[in-house]
């Protein structure tokens, strides 16, 4: 377009002839293909196909326009006379030629659109999606209830690790930084560049594929008639489902989060940073437990994270009401923030529930005792209420 504007200007100043201006108009249209090609370098296969279609459209139209240049010039003269453009008004006639050029391209390409699609699909086939395969689930580990149970546990922990990586990147944080000693609030304030990662693709390729394998394996795992083994298998399968739900919550949260964490409104930005800190705190709490020796490992430590999660709920603690009352944020932003706070809460709750199952005692009796000692929902609410007082 810049080239065309310069050509029109040069034509008006009589620096180029009318015929040369027409040639420059054709060349400028073909030249725009380089922008599409450069843009396609980092695009997926659909973007590259679109760039290919753009190239074919312009090159084909340019070749035909050059071959029929005299006929097109007569068509421009006829149309110009029809609408009252002066015979020597070459700038307007150049604009008419450019419009005619694009109409010609549409007439040439549209009838062959489906053929073009088939050719581009064949020349640039979509890469085969590689779904992640389970590491611990096999026929060998299926032989005994104990080995099958341990295999399911290890695979579900692996599923959790994949989810943590996706969630960290979805929050625009590196996993190494997230689990470092760096102050989390400072880290969140300094990390505002989104990761070039498609959460939906990672979910399909990694989370969904591994969880599907866990479900299939656990449904066939032997129990030898031991109810406690069946109960543990069901608990692990449910933990896997909770991990999957946490990633789904991230998918809902991410679209608004990546935009609003760079919002010009300081209050909106602070609240979305608070959600990132909230999720990061839960991830750190679980990781701290995993680093403890087995003899001191207890998921009762997660109760502190549960209480903290309830304390920092921006709806129940009145933060959202204050922001609206002081007109710090508008109603639209408040609604989005409320929904996203719900997604963040669900994400954290699912991760904590899954971690409780995965990191708790392996023995059924010990696990049952620990779960009975853990704070229930009413006790957590009571602890939060006392804190607010």
**Other CB atoms within 10 Å distance of the CB of residue 294:** 7
Q: What is the pLDDT of residue 299?
A: 55
Please list the ranges in the chain whose pLDDT falls under 70: 128-129, 293-301, 314-317, 360-389
Cα separation values, 4 from 92, 283, 321, Å: 12, 55, 55
348, 280 contact by CB (below 8 A)? no
Among residues 197, 196, 133, which one has the least CA distance to residue 159?
A: 133
Using N-to-C axis directions, what is the helix angle for 227-260 and 331-359, rounded to 10°?
150
135, 151 contact by CB (below 8 A)? no
User: Where does residue 308 rank: exposed (0-12), middle (13-18), buried (19+ CB within 10 A)?
Assistant: middle
Q: What is the pLDDT of residue 366?
A: 44
Q: If you search the block for the tokens 């001191």, which residue do you land on?
A: 296
Q: What is the pLDDT of residue 194?
A: 85
2-24 pLDDT, tens digit per residue, is 777 888 788 788 888 878 888 88
Q: How many CA atoms lie within 13 A of 121 on its CB side?
A: 6
Cα 253 to Cα 340: distance, rounded to the nearest angstrom: 5
Q: What is the pLDDT of residue 301?
A: 67
Q: If you search the block for the tokens 């992640």, which residue do you land on?
A: 132
Query: What's the farthest any 2 CA atoms get from each other in the chain?
Result: 97
137-188 pLDDT, tens digit per residue, is 888 888 888 888 999 999 999 999 999 999 999 989 988 888 988 999 999 8
Cα separation values, 333 from 32, 97, 98, 237, 248, Å: 39, 48, 45, 37, 22
**Other CB atoms within 10 Å distance of the CB of residue 198:** 11
Q: What is the DSSP string of 246-301?
A: HHHHHHHHHHHHHHHTT-S-HHHHHHHHHHHHHHHHHHHHHHHHHTS-GGG--GGG
Cα separation values, 17 from 20, 52, 88, 140, 381, Å: 5, 33, 12, 81, 82
Integer Rg of the chain from CA: 31
Q: What is the pLDDT of residue 155?
A: 93
Q: What is the DSSP string of 347-389?
A: HHHHHHHHHHHHHS-SSHHHHHHHHHHS--HHHHHHHHHHHH-
Beta-carbon contacts of residue 237 (< 8 Å; ≥ 6 apart): 152, 156, 214, 215, 218
Q: What is the pLDDT of residue 54?
A: 87
Beta-carbon contacts of residue 62 (< 8 Å; ≥ 6 apart): 26, 27, 29, 30
Q: What is the pLDDT of residue 73?
A: 87
């Amino acid at each position: 377009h810049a080239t065309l504007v310069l050509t029109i200007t040069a034509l008006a100043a009589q620096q180029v002839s009318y015929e040369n201006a027409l040639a420059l108009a054709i060349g400028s249209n073909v030249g725009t293909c380089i922008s599409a090609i450069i843009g396609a370098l980092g695009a997926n296969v659909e973007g590259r196909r679109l760039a290919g279609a753009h190239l074919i459209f312009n090159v084909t139209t340019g070749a035909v326009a050059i071959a029929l240049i005299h006929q097109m010039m007569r068509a421009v003269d006829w149309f110009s006379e029809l609408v009252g453009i002066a015979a020597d008004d070459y700038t307007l006639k150049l604009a008419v030629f450019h419009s005619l050029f694009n109409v010609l391209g549409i007439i040439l390409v549209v009838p062959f659109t489906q053929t073009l699609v088939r050719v581009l699909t064949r020349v640039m086939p979509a890469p085969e999606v590689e779904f992640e395969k389970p590491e611990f689930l096999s026929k060998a580990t299926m032989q005994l209830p104990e080995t099958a149970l341990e295999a399911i546990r290890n695979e579900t922990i692996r599923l959790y690790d994949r989810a943590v990586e996706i969630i960290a990147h979805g929050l625009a944080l590196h996993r190494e930084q997230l689990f470092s000693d760096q102050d989390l609030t400072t880290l969140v304030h300094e990390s505002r560049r989104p990761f070039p990662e498609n959460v939906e693709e990672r979910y399909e390729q990694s989370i969904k594929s591994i969880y599907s394998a866990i479900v299939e394996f656990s449904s066939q795992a032997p129990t030898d008639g031991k109810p406690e083994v069946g109960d543990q298998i069901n608990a692990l399968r449910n933990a896997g489902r909770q991990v999957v739900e946490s990633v789904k919550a991230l998918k809902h949260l991410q679209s608004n989060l990546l935009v609003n964490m760079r919002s010009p409104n300081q209050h909106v930005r602070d609240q979305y940073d608070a959600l990132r800190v909230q999720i990061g705190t839960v991830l750190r709490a679980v990781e701290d437990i995993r680093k403890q020796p087995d003899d001191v490992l207890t998921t009762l430590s997660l109760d502190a994270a549960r209480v903290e999660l309830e304390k920092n709920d921006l709806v129940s603690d009145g933060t959202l009401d204050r922001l609206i009352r002081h007109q710090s944020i508008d109603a639209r932003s408040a609604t989005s923030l409320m929904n996203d706070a719900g997604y963040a809460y669900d994400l954290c709750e699912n991760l904590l529930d899954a971690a409780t199952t995965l990191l708790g005692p392996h023995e059924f009796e010990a696990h049952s005792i620990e779960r009975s000692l853990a704070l229930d929902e009413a006790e957590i609410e009571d602890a939060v209420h006392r804190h607010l007082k």
